[in-house]
Chain A
Amino acid sequence: MKAAARAESDEALKDRVLEILSHVPDPEIPCVSVVDLGIVRDVREDALVITPTYSGCPATIAIASAIRSALDCAGLSRMRIETVLSPAWTTDWISDEGREKLRAYGIAPPAHGAASQSLHEEQAACPRCGSPHTEEISRFGSTPCKSLNRCLACGEPFDRFKCH
């Protein structure tokens, strides 16, 4: 009985924390939250477990401090932030909602299940006009997670979230 009540409260805490974090935006791609990105790995009573996207992502520090203030504001100062490297983050962990938000923001989302074949991706559909006729201009874009592309139909340049 006790165990069941306890499990429920863990679940409630998890829901509450995820709700709080769903309002913490990625500092470089503010249309998506840290939950959409899939970097929140676990919520425990004493610790929140997150994982960095790229080893050198400069947003990592900003994300941790934004999460810290959000938790503090919600009265969860005792919850530590723990960073784990393994299993390594993959773009497959970006939620469907997150993918839709990226597209609406003008960033072509990564394909699902494509992380393992990251170097042989098909061209992205243009996030503006939807045309599949696009080309990659540079594999390295404005942030480590994006490549630079151009739509051959509407002529617009656009970012693409790289499969990782």
Chain B
Amino acid sequence: MKPLVEYALRLGDDGLVLGQQLSEWCGHSPMLEIDLALANIGLDLIGQSSHFLKLAGEAEGEGRDADVLAFHRDVLDFRNALLVEQPNGDFAQTIVRQFLFSNWQELLMRELVRSQDETLSAIAGKAVKEVVYHARFANEWMVRLGDGSEESRKRIIAGLEWMWRFADELFAVDATVEELIVRGVAVDPRPLRAEWDARIAQTLAGATLEVPKPRRAASGGRSGHHSEHLGHLLTEMQFLPRAYPRAVW
């Protein structure tokens, strides 16, 4: 697979899977305002994803558009990071996942604006404006829950315990990305780690929480080695277009 196709799939699948997860909160959130927020964040992510997947399909040149890539690929062909496929759990767990992801995504998109690939740069230029809102929303809820009641604090700590091992994968680089970094197309995520760590530490301090201890990282999503959760998510997400392949609105 061409490196650009692979890279665009990774970016697109991150947004698609996380957006789908957030949409599951619609009608179930603790408050109406959170319901609106999570649905809006999910919508932004799915919108960004459709642009990345469109690019992947065009770069591939085999006639697959964003919908075909979203709905007619099997789990082993998905390239999202493991973090985004972790289950929603309770509200605290969802917030921790968003907190780790959005702070990373904001840093990534700021850099991707400078990509030599015009389309990647254009998508990032739009996305970064949206993602700053997501990061701020997640940061504020980390503080509210961490420095909130005994119960909310217990749950946010449990959420951090669950999600922390998936953070390293966001900053990993393999041969595919390495090649694109050299060409100025992809962002090298490694130098972003220090700023991400600082942001995470600052918000956790505000939330009176400790930065979790380093642990063995779980990874594999970028090469299609997923947890059980993703298959279940795709079953739900892909059912309609698979059952009725040519259905249109």
Contact = CB atoms under 8 A, between A and B. Distances in A.
Given A54-B47, A119-B136, A88 B36 contact: no
Given A88-B129, A140-B36, A55 B47 contact: yes
A55 B44 contact: yes
Contacts of A75: none
Interface residues of B, number: 29
Given A55-B47, A55-B51, A148 B126 contact: no
B125 interface: yes
Count chain B CB atoms within 10 A of each CB in A86, A87, A148 and give the residue with the most.
A86
A86 B129 contact: no
Contacts of B45: 56
A138 B118 contact: no
B137 interface: yes
Interface in A87-110: 87-89
B218 interface: no
Contact of B122 (A58, A86, A139): A86
Interface string A63-98: 000000000000000000000111111000000000
Count chain B CB atoms within 10 A of each CB in A55, A88, A144 and give the residue with the most.
A55
B136 A55 contact: no
Contacts, number: 78
A128 B126 CA distance: 32
Interface in B43-58: 43-48, 50-51
B103 to A, nearest CB: 14
A88 B48 contact: no
Interface string A5-45: 00000000000000000000000000000000000000000
A86 B118 contact: yes
Given A55-B47, A56-B46, A141 B122 contact: no
Contacts of B41: 140
B121 interface: yes
A123 interface: no
B137 A85 contact: no
Count chain A CB atoms within 10 A of each CB in B40, B118, B123, B125 and give the residue with the most.
B40
Interface of A: 52, 54-58, 84-89, 118-119, 137-142, 144, 148, 162, 164
Given A85-B125, A148-B36, 16 more contacts: A54-B130, A55-B126, A56-B46, A57-B47, A85-B123, A85-B126, A86-B118, A86-B121, A86-B122, A88-B126, A88-B129, A139-B137, A140-B137, A144-B44, A148-B33, A164-B129
